[in-house]
Amino acid sequence: MTTNLGTKENTLFTERYESIEKCVEYLTTHRSEILSILSNISSYRAANAEIDSTIKTLQGVLQEVETYRPACQDSMAVFMPSNVILYSYALYLLIPSLFVNRIEFRASSHVTEYVSLLHDTLKEVHQLPISNLKVSQKSFMTNSVSQADIVVFTGTYQNAEQIKKQMRREQLYIFFGQGINPFIIGPDADLSLAVDDVIRMRLFNSGQDCLGPDIILTHESIAESFKNLLLEKVEALTFGANDDPNANYSPIFYKDILTAMSEYFNNNDKYIIYGGGIDFRTKKMEPTILYSKLEDRLEIAEFFSPVFNVVSYPNDEQLMKLIGSSYFSERAMGCSLYGSEHLADKLRRKHTLTINQTLEDVEQGNKAFGGHGTMSNYIFYDMQLVSKPILISEVVAEFLSEKRLEV
The domain spans of the chain are 11-177+376-399, 183-362
Query: Could you say which architecture CATH assigns to the domain 11-177+376-399?
Result: 3-Layer(aba) Sandwich (3.40)
- Are 184 and 341 contacting, i.e. CB atoms less than 8 angstroms apart? no
Average pLDDT score, the chain = 94
Quote the pLDDT of residue 7: 46
How much is the average pLDDT of 11-15?
68
* Number of C-beta neighbours around residue 34 at 10 A: 21
Are 299 and 310 in contact, with CB atoms under 8 Å apart?
no
More confident residue, 76 or 14: 76
Q: Which residues pair with 369 in a beta bridge?
A: 390
Q: Could you write out the DSSP letters of every residue in 199-210?
A: HHHHTGGGG-ST
For residue 12, what pLDDT is reported? 64
The answer on pLDDT for 363 being more than 70 is yes
293 pLDDT more than 60: yes
Buried b (16+ CB within 10 A) or exposed e, 6-24: beeebeebeebbebbebbb
Name the H helices within 326-391.
326-330, 344-348, 359-362
Phi, psi of 162 (to 5 degrees): -65, -40
Q: Which CATH architecture has domain 183-362?
A: 3-Layer(aba) Sandwich (3.40)
What integer is the mean pLDDT of 246-255?
95
The pLDDT score that the predictor gives to residue 407 is: 44
Q: What pLDDT band is residue 130 in, cutting at 50, 70 and 90? A: very high
Enclosing H/E stretch for 153:
strand 150-154
Mean pLDDT of 62-85: 95
